[in-house]
C-alpha cells in the first residue's frame, strides 16, 4: 500500500464502526508515520513481518499477554479472527448499549443484573481517603446472554464488590466458583472519552508522563483511561485488578490500552519507539530499580512451553519481536 492508503484505511475502519474521533485521526497519522519509518529504515523483523502480512492484533508485558491470549484462541479454540479493541470513546455515553455489552448473541453478555441500593465505590480505596467516589453502574449482579454460564474460579483478591464469597486460600488463588458479574458504568466510561484520550496522547511529551497519566492521578480526581476502563466493566472481576482477566472484557479493554500506547509511540517513532522509564514494580510498590530494555518478560510457568521469555525491547514495536500487527 502507498502511505496515504494506510491513513485512509484507518479512517474508514473507524468510520464504518461508529465515527472518526480526534484520537482516531491521531491513529491514522501515526499509521502513516509507520509507513514512512519503514520506507526509511526497513522492518524490525525483515522476512517475518511486513505491511503486506501484518494483522490488526495488539506498556510491554501486557502487549505480550494480549498477544498470547489471541494466539491461544486461535491454536486451542479454533478462532480464525483477531482480537478486537474496545474503543472507549465511541461508547462513553452509554457503554451498556455497545455491541460488546448489549447482551446480544454476538456480545460478551450484558451489564449484569441490576442490584438496587448500592453505594459509591472508593477509588483507589477508603484507606487512601476515597478521593474519587464513583456512583454505581447499571448492573452489579450476574450477567445474562452468551456468558450466562461462565464460571469464575479465582479470587476475590482485591475486589471492590461487597459481600463476596471469600476465597478458601489466603492468596485468593483457590477454587471459588461463582457467576461472572458486571456493573457497566457510564460515569467511569466518561473518564475515557475522546477528549481524555486525545489529551493523553498529545500532551504526554515523555513515556513517564504518558504512563502516569494513563494510570490516573487519584488525589486530583483524575481516573486515567486504564482505571476508567476497568471500572467501566465493574463487577467482581472488572474492579479487581489482580483478577480482572477472569472477565473476557479485560482483553478488549487492554487491546485499546495497547492501541493508545501504539498511537502515542507513532507520533514520534524516532524518540518513542524504545522509550522506557519507571521501576520494575507497579507504581513503584514496593520500591525497586529502574527497568531496562534488557529486562525479561515472562508469562509464567503455565505457559513457558508455549510462549518463550522475551525482553522488553522485543515488545516495544508491534512489528518487532514475536509480533506482526498494526491497528486500523
Give 274's strand partners. Answer: none
| 142 secondary structure, DSSP code | B
Alpha carbon distance 241, 186 (integer Å) = 19
DSSP per residue, 204-269: --SHHHHHHHHH-BGGGTB-HHHHHHHHHH-HHHHT-TTTGGGSTHHHHHHHHHHHHHHHHHHTSH
C-alpha cell at 277: 522509564
pLDDT tens by residue, 74-115: 999 999 999 999 999 999 999 999 999 999 999 999 999 999
Q: Quote the pLDDT of residue 52.
A: 63
Q: Quote the pLDDT of residue 284.
A: 79
Say if residues 304 and 310 touch (Cβ distance below 8 Å): no
Question: Domain limits at 321?
Answer: 3-326
Q: Quote the pLDDT of residue 56.
A: 82
Number of domains in the chain: 1
| 281 secondary structure, DSSP code | S
Residue ranges of the chain whose pLDDT lies below 70 = 1-18, 51-55, 57-58
CATH label of the domain that carries residue 128: 1.10.1280.10
Q: Quote the pLDDT of residue 19.
A: 73
**Global confidence as pTM:** 0.90
Q: Quote the pLDDT of residue 5.
A: 31
Amino acid at each position: 500500500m502507498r502511505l496515504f492508503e494506510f491513513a485512509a484505511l484507518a479512517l474508514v475502519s473507524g468510520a464504518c464502526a461508529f465515527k472518526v474521533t480526534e484520537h482516531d485521526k491521531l491513529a491514522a497519522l501515526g499509521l502513516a508515520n509507520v509507513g514512512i519509518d519503514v520506507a526509511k529504515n526497513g522492518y524490525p523483523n525483515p522476512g517475518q513481518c511486513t505491511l503486506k502480512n501484518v494483522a490488526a492484533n495488539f506498556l510491554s508485558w501486557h502487549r505480550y499477554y494480549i498477544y498470547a491470549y489471541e494466539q491461544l484462541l486461535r491454536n486451542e479454540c479454533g478462532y480464525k479472527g483477531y482480537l478486537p479493541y474496545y474503543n472507549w470513546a465511541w461508547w462513553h455515553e452509554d457503554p451498556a448499549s455497545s455491541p460488546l455489552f448489549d447482551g446480544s448473541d454476538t456480545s460478551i453478555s450484558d451489564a449484569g443484573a441490576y442490584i438496587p441500593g448500592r453505594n459509591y465505590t472508593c477509588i483507589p480505596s477508603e484507606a487512601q481517603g476515597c478521593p474519587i467516589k464513583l456512583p454505581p453502574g447499571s448492573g452489579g449482579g450476574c450477567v445474562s446472554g452468551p456468558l450466562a454460564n461462565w464460571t469464575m474460579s479465582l479470587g476475590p483478591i482485591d475486589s471492590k464488590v461487597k459481600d463476596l464469597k471469600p476465597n478458601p486460600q489466603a492468596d485468593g488463588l483457590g477454587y471459588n466458583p461463582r457467576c461472572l458479574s458486571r456493573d457497566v458504568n457510564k460515569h467511569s466510561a466518561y473518564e475515557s472519552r475522546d477528549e481524555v484520550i486525545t489529551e493523553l496522547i498529545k500532551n504526554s511529551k515523555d513515556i513517564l508522563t504518558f504512563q502516569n497519566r494513563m494510570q490516573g492521578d487519584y488525589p486530583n480526581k483524575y481516573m486515567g483511561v486504564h482505571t476508567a476502563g476497568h471500572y467501566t466493566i465493574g463487577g467482581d472481576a472488572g474492579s479487581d485488578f489482580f483478577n480482572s482477566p477472569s472477565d473476557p472484557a479485560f482483553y478488549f479493554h487492554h487491546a485499546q490500552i495497547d492501541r493508545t500506547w501504539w498511537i502515542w509511540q507513532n507520533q514520534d517513532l524516532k524518540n518513542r519507539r524504545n522509550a522506557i522509564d519507571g521501576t520494575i514494580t507497579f507504581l513503584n510498590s514496593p520500591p525497586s530499580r529502574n527497568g531496562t530494555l534488557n529486562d525479561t518478560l515472562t508469562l509464567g510457568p503455565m505457559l513457558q512451553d508455549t510462549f518463550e521469555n522475551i525482553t522488553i525491547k522485543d515488545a516495544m514495536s508491534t512489528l518487532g519481536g514475536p509480533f506482526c500487527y498494526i491497528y486500523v
